[in-house]
Structure 1
Amino acid sequence: MAKNESLAVLHATLDFRRIIDVPGYDKIKLDDATRFIATMNYGYAGTRELNEALASRFMVIEMPSISSDNLKKLLQREFPNLKNTYLEQFTGLFQDLQKKNENSEISTKSVDLRGLIGSIHLMNKGLEANKALQMGITNKSFDDFERVLIDDVIHMRIPLKLERGEIFTD
């Protein structure tokens, strides 16, 4: 997370002045084609509110959460050997976790697409589904009560003893 002092340097860079002032050196004028793109996962650990001066120098593009159809396409592309049954179940699992988060029942920590994909990769390598999901999703939360809720959501869709051969076609 950037410190306020470093963010303040960006003010002159991002507004009409378009310069970078290097103390003890000189002012560097930016080329007209220079663009800055910043990303922020609002509400995510490690992020904080931008101050008004910095926020006013950006245009904001609100990105929606991944849709069920797009998540299925992503999982199919990443795991072409994933059986349809479990394509549906993993997609549903992620959507269920998103709903729990939207209803403030769980934090964003376990609504982790990289964690889900990593878990499925572990399953494809032979790790039992329950253990893989625990490592990739459940254990992202450090609150015991929240872990129980997450495990309940997982167990509603994924059997406790699920092996690789049941999940993948080859």
Structure 2
Amino acid sequence: MITELPKEIMDYIEQNQNHQNQEIDHLNTKGGYIETEDLVRKTAITFYMSKNILLKGPTGSGKTKLAESLATLYQKPMHSINCSVDLDAESLLGFKTIKEKNGKSVIEFVEGPVIQAMKNGRILYIDEINMARPETLPILNGVLDYRRTITNPFTNEVITAHKDFRVIAAINEGYIGTTPLNEALKNRFVIFQVSYLMGDPLKKVINEQTNLEDEQIIDYMLKLSEELIKETKKGKIAEEAASTRALLDACDLAVYLSPLTAIEHAIAEKLEDEREKNFVLNLAETYFKE
């Protein structure tokens, strides 16, 4: 619990505790994001105020984990949409299907994540929103602005969002296959930068979320991570190399494999460029020897 939150927000969080429904257990998430610069507090306040949140940052920096931490804090189930060029209205809103009832075939509408989240006052998490085709997203304009409504084109039903409905989106800037968000869509969000963790916050994550206990290996992993982040900022290697998620995988593997082998498979092999792979391994060899 974040004790620095205003009293009215703390009261609201307490009111939402223990409202569990076994039918939607698969939508419940677990927190675990370790904030930098009080990022969880800022986003938690924005969430409480019903503002749409856009998390910007490199791949593997913890955007999804931050969204899950907010869902856990407010005890809200979360519907997720993973955007791609194949995303269409049916993926967002739902689809019609034929079912058998009393020996007859009837057409029923299966509600999609947007409709379910709006009606039930849940969180809608839109991952990699800039991977979707620009012509797909305008269908959400009314959902994301003051109207909080949408007309379902498949049923003509007008849906007004529940007061507890919230939207969190994530964006990987400069990632292959992405397109810049248009200004109309971007203007509907409050935007937060999510950066790679470094130093003590990253060490805390390693201690809490991996099985690695060797202090020397952990310290070297931290130094390697800092070097990789610096090199990605210079443009020498792809952002994947500095992924916090990849580093945590390497730490787990290092419990049973040599650190160099762990780094090779958890970090280096994710890169497409052979030169970049070798760069990462050579850098790792300055800290670890087989």
Distance 2:225 2:175 in 1: 17
Q: How many residues align?
A: 159
Counterpart code for 1:146: E
Distance 2:161 2:258 in 1: 53
- 1:60-106 CA-to-partner distances (Å, cap 9, x unmatched) read 01223213110111112234652221111000111110000111111
- CA shift in 2, pair 1:61/1:131, >3 Å: same
Indicate the structure with greater helix content.
1
Q: Following superposition of structure 1 onto structure 2, how do residues 59-138 of structure 1 map, counting pairs within 5 Å?
A: 59-79=190-210, 82-124=213-255, 126-138=256-268
Aligned to 2:188: 57
- CA shift in 2, pair 1:88/1:110, >3 Å: same
Counterpart code for 1:114: R
Q: Does 1:27 align with 2:158?
A: yes
Counterpart code for 2:235: S
Distance 2:257 2:216 in 1: 18
- CA shift in 2, pair 1:60/1:107, >3 Å: same
**Partner secondary structure for residue 171 of structure 2:** coil
Residue segments in structure 1 that go unaligned for 5+ positions in a row? 162-170
Q: Following superposition of structure 1 onto structure 2, how do residues 123-162 of structure 1 map, counting pairs within 5 Å?
A: 123-124=254-255, 126-159=256-289, 161=290
Distance 1:128 1:156 in 2: 14
Aligned to 1:168: none
Distance 2:223 2:260 in 1: 16
Aligned to 1:165: none
**Partner secondary structure for residue 272 of structure 2:** coil
Indicate the structure with greater strand content.
2
Distance 1:32 1:47 in 2: 32
**Partner secondary structure for residue 20 of structure 1:** strand
- Deviation, 1:4, is 2.6
**Partner secondary structure for residue 4 of structure 1:** coil
Contact 2:196 2:243 in 1 (8 A): no
- CA shift in 2, pair 1:38/1:68, >3 Å: same
- Deviation, 1:44, is 3.8
Distance 1:151 1:60 in 2: 35
The answer to which of 83-92 and 29-38 deviates more is 29-38
Contact 1:123 1:132 in 2 (8 A): yes
TM-score by length of 2: 0.51
- Deviation, 1:48, is 3.3
- CA shift in 2, pair 1:80/1:150, >3 Å: closer
Distance 1:71 1:140 in 2: 21
Distance 2:193 2:137 in 1: 22
Aligned to 1:41: 172
Contact 2:149 2:158 in 1 (8 A): yes
Counterpart code for 1:4: P
Residue segments in structure 2 that go unaligned for 5+ positions in a row? 1-83, 85-131
Contact 2:206 2:212 in 1 (8 A): no
TM-score by length of 1: 0.84
Distance 1:10 1:87 in 2: 44
